[in-house]
């Protein structure tokens, strides 16, 4: 059955936008009344044990801060904890992702929206004693889900166009859908004489599929050329742009903006459970850039991107891996095999209706 429309295995249109200089959209707690966070719909029957956040910077001796799970009234945090133990205190540290444990895990009521917040808790707070928490990295996550809110001392207001970096985490280690425990976003520079010269993702194929394009979120400086390749675990080339690499004159004429590009290749088939690599390599000394998204940990990357993670090498050397990062590279899936024996359970004989497999 074809996948309609064909889609990248990793949704680059959601992962990456066209920002040229990744910078943090932050919120500074420099007053006891200020707080920020995210409104979300909790996962049914999942207990929340931690709230994660990224501390961008601190000034002076930062105040003690706290995370809170609050009820929502009229579209805003109510100020009331979901439970007396639905909070946890911590000391902010600059440039650090922090998982803060609640005093006790909290199992929300079914159907009730909640707010996960960061707020002042104790200690001196002001312009010389403050902490700034990240709300969004550009070059990543063009979408907005769930809703980010902030309170500056008078009223709650939404923060449009950002994806929250305040993340509820469940007892089993899974994350709230739509939230991403991102620690950083960078543009990795590749040059033909540098280190690395080639980067990409190793991924486990989730189903029998046909792949018909190689996709990247990249910047090509003037004169830049780059190759995209799809390899088996043992290094056999399944598809590549060897005969006609990406070229700044043809594929991406702007030297300041990034683009999500899909380069058609001869269709190839991959089988469920196999391991492959998709890579981008620089062919010029001017090089190219690839968006690299780094998460708080490997489990956070897995929660958003599945079994796909960063690899890099110099020349034809060995690949090194970073299980907490992912490159903005993905093959495009044109069709999947839903027949029995293709990684799906067959329909019981004599039964009808529903989806086969």
d(C-alpha 111, C-alpha 44), whole Å: 8
Give pLDDT tens digits for 65-116: 999 999 999 989 999 999 999 999 999 999 899 999 999 999 987 778 999 9
Q: Each residue of 238-292: pLDDT tens digit?
A: 999 999 999 888 887 566 667 778 899 999 999 999 999 999 999 999 889 898 8
Q: Which pLDDT score, from 0 to 100, does residue 22 have?
A: 53
Evaluate whether 75 touches 93 at the Cβ level (below 8 Å): no
Residues 174, 190, single domain; the answer is: no
Task: Give the residue carrying structure tokens 């299980």.
Answer: 323
44, HSE (Cβ side, Cα atoms, 13 Å): 2
Using the predicted structure, report yes or no on whether residue 345 has a pLDDT greater than 60.
no
* Other C-beta atoms lying within 10 Å of the C-beta of residue 61: 11
Tell me the Ramachandran region of residue 62: left when phi exceeds 0, alpha when psi lies from -120 to 50, beta otherwise.
beta
CATH number of the domain within which 86 lies: 2.60.120
In this structure, are 235 and 194 located in the same domain? yes
Same domain? 144 vs 216: no
For residues 245 and 161, state if they share a domain.
Answer: no
Is the domain of 100 the same as that of 240? no
pLDDT tens per residue across span 182-213: 887 788 999 999 999 999 999 999 889 999 99
Name beta bridge partners: 276.
203, 232
- Give me the number of domains the chain comprises: 2
Question: What gap in Å lies between CA 257 and CA 305, rounded to an integer?
Answer: 24
pTM: 0.80
Which residues lie across from 260 on neighbouring strands?
Answer: 217
CB burial of 280-302 (b: ≥16 within 10 Å; e: otherwise) equals: bbbbbebbbbbbbbbbbbeebbb
Determine, yes or no, domain membership for 195.
Answer: yes
Q: Which of 282, 248, 277, 251 is nearest to 264 (CA)?
A: 251
Q: Which domain holds residue 295?
A: 186-336
């Amino acid at each position: 059955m074809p996948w309609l429309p064909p889609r990248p295995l990793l949704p680059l249109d959601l992962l990456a936008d066209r920002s040229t200089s990744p910078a943090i959209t932050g919120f500074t707690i420099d007053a006891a009344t200020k707080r920020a966070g995210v409104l979300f719909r909790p996962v049914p029957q999942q207990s929340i044990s931690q709230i994660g956040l990224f501390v961008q910077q601190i000034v002076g001796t930062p105040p003690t801060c706290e995370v809170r799970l609050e009820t929502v009234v009229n579209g805003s945090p109510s100020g009331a904890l979901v439970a007396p133990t639905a909070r946890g205190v911590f000391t902010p540290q600059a440039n650090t992702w922090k998982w803060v444990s609640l005093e006790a895990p909290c199992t929300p009521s079914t159907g009730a929206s909640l707010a996960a917040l960061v707020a002042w808790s104790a200690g001196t707070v002001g312009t010389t004693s403050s902490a700034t928490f990240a709300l969004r990295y550009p070059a990543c996550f063009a979408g907005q889900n769930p809703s980010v809110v902030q309170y500056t001392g008078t009223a709650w207001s939404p923060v449009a166009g950002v994806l929250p970096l305040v993340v509820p985490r469940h007892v089993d280690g899974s994350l709230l859908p739509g939230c991403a425990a991102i620690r950083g976003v960078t543009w990795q520079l590749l040059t033909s004489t540098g280190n690395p010269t080639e980067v990409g993702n190793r991924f486990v194929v989730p189903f029998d599929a046909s792949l018909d394009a190689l996709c990247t979120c990249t910047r090509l400086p003037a004169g830049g050329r780059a190759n995209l390749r799809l390899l088996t675990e043992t290094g056999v080339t399944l598809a590549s742009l060897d005969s006609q690499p990406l070229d700044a004159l043809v594929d991406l004429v702007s030297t300041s903006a990034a683009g999500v590009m899909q380069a058609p290749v001869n269709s190839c088939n991959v089988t469920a459970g196999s391991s492959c690599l998709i890579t981008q390599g620089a062919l010029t000394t001017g090089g190219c850039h690839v968006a690299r998204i780094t998460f708080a940990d490997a489990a956070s990357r897995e929660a958003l991107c599945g079994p796909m993670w960063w690899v890099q090498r110099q020349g034809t050397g060995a690949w090194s891996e970073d299980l907490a990062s992912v490159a903005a590279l993905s093959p495009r899936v044109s069709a999947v095999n839903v027949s029995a024996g293709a990684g799906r359970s067959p329909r019981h004989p004599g039964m009808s209706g529903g989806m086969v497999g």
